[in-house]
């Protein structure tokens, strides 16, 4: 599962760390000072590291809860994100993480209690409310069997019923959720692209069918679930792949009970795009014409808005406009 486990000396004796090291005793373990000695060094190559990622167990200092970019969320409440982990076990070719870090190793910040404290403080500043996104720099659930992220953070949010936790994922690791009492202020938001896009770009990601089955189980168990259609990458095939995707999703899930549905176009900061192009000069997606607006790169298309509106029209056959929002 991991090529190596690096452990910051400072966290070596934490019980959470000792348990993990015992569990993965057969994996070579290397003690380091700070995780930055191993992670994101300048001569590293994300694409090569993806062949055999390592796990780094570290302590997060400094800002643990950050303001979410504007337009990220689904309502007017103030949005924040926190990342107990950097990087992802999946390998989506369109993922911005490839441009953000030069290393594909997974960093797991093990000082959950410090995150908990920072979240509680932020909730306090927001009179008990706010929306808290997990899964911005990682997939929150994909490494659940290793991180036990859910069991820890769900119990935190249980104490603050007016604050909302959104767990953004493409993972089917929902066992721990199904084994837990439903937390009404927690939303499991699953991302989907069309079958064609998933086949072409979402490497190692569970199939759409499997993800839907996981969501279906959660919905039946009473969990709030949401759908994120991101990133929309419009191709020559037109609307047909979206018709098929929506049909597949909404014939399995109870659309009316969905917490929210959103869409977001393919966008990324120019610098990230430049770095990704260097890693994947052979990737068709990054060879397409692009356009840049305010430091963000997008695929060049004169039809983009028309297409997006047509997709939204299709979508609104299944969900209400109150449930739907467009991600900036």
Number of residues near other proteins (by CB under 8 A): 35
- Least CB distance from residue 282 to ligand SF4, whole Å? 19
**Between 94 and 133, how does the x/- string for binding to other proteins read (CB under 8 A)?**
---------x-x----------------------------
Residue 25 binds other proteins (CB under 8 A): no
Q: Which region, judged by CB under 8 A, interacts with other proteins, from 17-25, 42-50, 132-140, 252-260?
A: 42-50
Which range in 110-118, 152-160, 174-182, 297-305 contacts other proteins by CB under 8 A? 297-305
The window from 134-142, 166-174, 283-291, 319-327 that contacts other proteins (CB under 8 A) reads 283-291
Nearest to 221 by CA among 184, 191, 261: 184
d(C-alpha 216, C-alpha 199), whole Å: 22
Q: What are phi and psi of 259, to 5 degrees?
A: -65, -45
Q: Give the Cα separation of 153 and 116 in Å (integer).
A: 7
- 90-109: contacts with ligand SF4 (CB under 6 A): 90-92, 95, 97
> Nearest 5°: phi and psi at 168?
-90, 130
Counting contacts by CB under 6 A, is residue 232 touching ligand SF4?
no
Asked if 55 and 6 count as a contact pair (C-beta separation under 8 A), the reply is: yes
Q: Which of 316, 193, 218, 212 is nearest to 261 (CA)?
A: 316
Binding site partner of 195, from other proteins, ligand SF4, none, Cβ cut-off 5-8 A by kind:
none
Interface with ligand SF4 in residues 131-160 (CB under 6 A): 139
Q: Identify which of residues 252 and 307 has a Cβ nearer to other proteins in the complex.
A: 307
Asked if 28 is part of the footprint of other proteins (rule: CB under 8 A), the reply reads yes
Q: Alpha-carbon distance 107 to 303, whole Å?
A: 40
- For ligand SF4, the closer of residues 123 and 198 by Cβ is 198
Answer with the entry of ligand SF4, other proteins, none that 58 interacts with (C-beta below 5 to 8 A by kind): none
Distance CA 198, CA 208 (A): 8
Q: Is 295 in the site for other proteins (CB under 8 A)?
A: no
C-beta of residue 300 within 8 angstroms of C-beta of residue 288: yes
Does residue 15 belong to the site contacting other proteins (CB under 8 A)? no
We find the least distance from the C-beta atom of residue 200 to other proteins, in angstroms, to be 13
* Stretch 47-66 residues interacting with other proteins (CB under 8 A): 47-49, 51-52, 54
328 contact, one of ligand SF4, other proteins, none, CB 5-8 Å limit per kind: none
**Residue 103 or residue 323: which is nearer to other proteins going by CB?**
103
Those residues with Cβ within 8 angstroms of residue 136's Cβ, 6 or more apart along the chain or in another chain? 68, 81, 82, 83, 168
Q: 20-26, long-range: CB within 8 Å, 24+ apart, which pairs? A: 20/57, 20/146, 24/55
One of 4, 40, 126, 176 touching other proteins (CB under 8 A): 4
Residues linked to residue 261 through DSSP beta bridges, in sequence order: 227, 324
Q: Decide: 171 and 138 in contact? Cβ < 8 Å.
A: no
Please name the residues in contact with 192: beta carbons below 8 A apart, sequence gap of 6 or more. 198, 208, 211, 227, 228, 229, 245, 249
Residue with tokens 């000072």: 33
Q: Which residues bind other proteins (CB under 8 A)?
A: 3-4, 6, 28, 30-33, 37-38, 41, 43-45, 47-49, 51-52, 54, 103, 105, 277, 280-284, 286-289, 300-302
């Amino acid at each position: 599962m991991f090529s190596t486990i690096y452990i910051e000396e400072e966290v070596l004796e934490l019980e959470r760390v000792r348990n993990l090291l015992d569990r993965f005793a057969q994996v070579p373990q290397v003690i380091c000072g700070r995780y930055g000695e191993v992670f994101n060094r300048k001569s590293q190559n994300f694409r090569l590291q993806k062949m055999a990622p390592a796990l780094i167990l570290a302590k997060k200092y400094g800002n643990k809860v950050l303001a979410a970019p504007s337009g990220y969320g689904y309502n007017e409440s103030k949005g924040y994100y926190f990342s107990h982990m950097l990087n992802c076990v999946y390998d989506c070719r369109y993922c911005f993480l490839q441009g953000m870090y030069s290393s594909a190793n997974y960093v797991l910040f093990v000082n959950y209690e410090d995150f908990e404290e920072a979240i509680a403080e932020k909730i306090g500043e927001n009179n008990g409310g706010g929306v808290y996104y997990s899964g911005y720099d990682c997939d929150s659930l994909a490494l659940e069997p290793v991180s036990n992220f859910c069991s820890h953070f769900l119990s935190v949010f249980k104490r603050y019923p007016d604050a909302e936790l959104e767990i953004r994922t493409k993972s089917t690791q929902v066992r721990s959720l199904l084994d837990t009492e439903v937390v009404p202020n927690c939303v499991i938001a699953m991302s989907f692209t069309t079958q064609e896009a998933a086949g072409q770009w979402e490497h190692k990601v569970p199939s759409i069918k499997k993800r839907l089955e996981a969501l279906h189980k959660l919905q039946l168990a009473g969990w709030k679930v949401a759908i994120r259609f991101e990133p929309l990458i419009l191709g020559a095939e037109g609307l047909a792949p979206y018709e098929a995707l929506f049909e597949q999703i909404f014939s399995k899930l109870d659309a009316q009970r969905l917490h929210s549905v959103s869409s977001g176009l393919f966008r990324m900061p120019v610098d990230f795009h430049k770095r990704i192009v260097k890693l994947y000069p052979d990737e068709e997606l990054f060879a397409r014409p692009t356009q840049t607006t305010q430091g963000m790169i997008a695929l060049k298309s004169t039809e983009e808005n028309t297409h997006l509106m047509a997709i939204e029209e299709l979508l609104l056959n299944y969900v209400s406009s109150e449930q739907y929002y467009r991600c900036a």
